[in-house]
Structure 1
Amino acid sequence: MTVYELARSRKSNRCFSTEPVPIDDVLYAIMVALEAPSGANRQPWRFILVRDPRVKESLRREAERWEKKLHESKSIPEWFAEWLRERGITWRKEFLTRAPILIVVLADKRAPYSRESVWLAIGYLLLALEERKLSSLTYTPTNPKAIARILGVPDQYTLEAIIPVGKPDCIKEKEPRISLEDAVYIDKWGVRLA
């Protein structure tokens, strides 16, 4: 598959089979991520692979505690609350215990452009997982510091995302994308592609 074909087929998935996945496929995806560009070539990314059911349960319990507070609060914009409702997304995060592997992605705060660099690496990682026919989701916990504490992450690192990885347990359609014509301008804002 071309990179474009991988990108077109890749979608976020929240329902995973508990069927094991080859660790070599996950390590391959991380090797691809390690090739991403980074500010001053500092390569600020670090990854924790979580397979232990007890650790996954601890992460889920802590994540859900904070997610429940968020979902019950009045601070989230109505458009976002509606978007969540339409998709059946709740504070419950079963994917954290069902997915066979969780990839916890960390950024070294001391590096320039660490967050931007790490998210570039995540993009590479997602496409490599898709190449290996593995489903994934970029889950950004409501309270990443609480999750990082469970994993013993040093203070110099921020937890950017948890990526559950596995085989899909349901069929999910890809969310619509804007067209090239709506996304690109020529020479200045508002000048559309011919």
Structure 2
Amino acid sequence: MSPDAPTFAEVYPGHPEPQVEPLQFRRLGAEETLARAEAFYHEMNARRTTRHFSRDAVPQQVIEWAVRTAGTAPSGAHRQPWRFVAVQDPALKERLRAAVEAEEYKTYTQRMPEEWRAALAPLGTDYVKEHLTDAPWVIVVFREKYGLDADGARTKNYYTVESAAIAVGLLIAALHHAGLVTLTHTPNPMGFLAELLGRPQNEEALMVLSVGYPAANATVPKLGRKPLEQIFQVDLGHPAGPHIDPQASPPRTGG
């Protein structure tokens, strides 16, 4: 196999070549590209997480379009290992809240170390999760640990946590763009969610999102975001560069 330009047949012997199609892309001018990047930042910088939701209804179609957006996320081997279970039934939301609060009570009263408690103190969170019943929608995101074919045999999925997490980010952005607020929540442990929502054994809960309009009296913690210079670097590698053994295996990638 050529190390510089191996052929498809060399890399994937016995497999048919992939089907491709032209990329649908319109290149923008530099000024418009910059303007769009800045405008989207300002839109997303206005996004805040709140625990206070209005009970006003949100059309299901809005949720569906946001989930479609989430489903455009890249994923390992294009397995799309995510499932979005949306709950609007009040009785089911009550059961969901009761189960979550039972676990959260244990966390706040028994499991939470002081370091974690100190980190949460500026946010003022507690084990009472009224947002799960106030918000018109609760979306539980599951990662598909492995696939199941028509005969029930397992098929391997790749980078499921990373893939589903990217999809969640797109979902939050889409919901904010639609004019809604969200609250992300990760009860620990989360195994009860699959049972409560009747999910198959190959799925594992990753995130719970309350979704809706903010309450008229909604508040948010007075916090700031890290400035760009604390989260962004350019060309700051080691002057000598990394030592690369030409005989070593190639780096692990998820693409």
- TM-score, length basis structure 2: 0.70
CA distance in 2, matches of 1:172, 1:18: 18
Match for 1:175: what amino acid? Answer: L
CA RMSD between the two structures: 1.9
Q: Aligned with 1:41: secondary structure?
A: coil
Matching of residue 88 in structure 1 with residue 136 in structure 2: no
1:154 partnered with 2:200: yes
Q: Please list the CA deviations of residues 43-96 of structure 1 after superposition, one character each: whole Å capped at 9, or x if unmatched.
A: 0111111011111011111110010000001x4232321233332211111111
Match runs of 1:54-73 below 5 Å: 54-73=91-110
SS in 2 for 1:138: strand
Pick aligned residue for 1:77 from 109, 113, 117: 113
Higher Rg: 2
- Report what 1:115 is aligned to: 161
TM-score normalised by L of structure 1: 0.91
Say whether the 8 Å CA contact 1:3–1:127 is kept in structure 2.
no
**Kept in 1: contact 2:136–2:212 (CA 8 A):** yes
Higher relative contact order (CA 8 A, sep 6+): 1
- Identity among equivalent positions (%) equals 36
- Aligned positions of 1:1-194 closer than 5 A: 2-73=39-110, 75-110=111-146, 111-169=157-215, 170-172=218-220, 175-188=223-236
Count of paired positions? 190
Q: Which runs of 5+ in 2 are unaligned?
A: 1-35, 147-156, 240-255
Give the counterpart letter for 2:228 in structure 1.
L
Name the structure where helix makes up a greater proportion of residues: 1
1:94 and 1:9 map into 2 onto residues whose CA distance is 24
The 1-side partners of 2:230 and 2:131 are apart by 34
Which stretch of structure 1 is more off in the superposition, 141-150 or 166-175?
A: 166-175
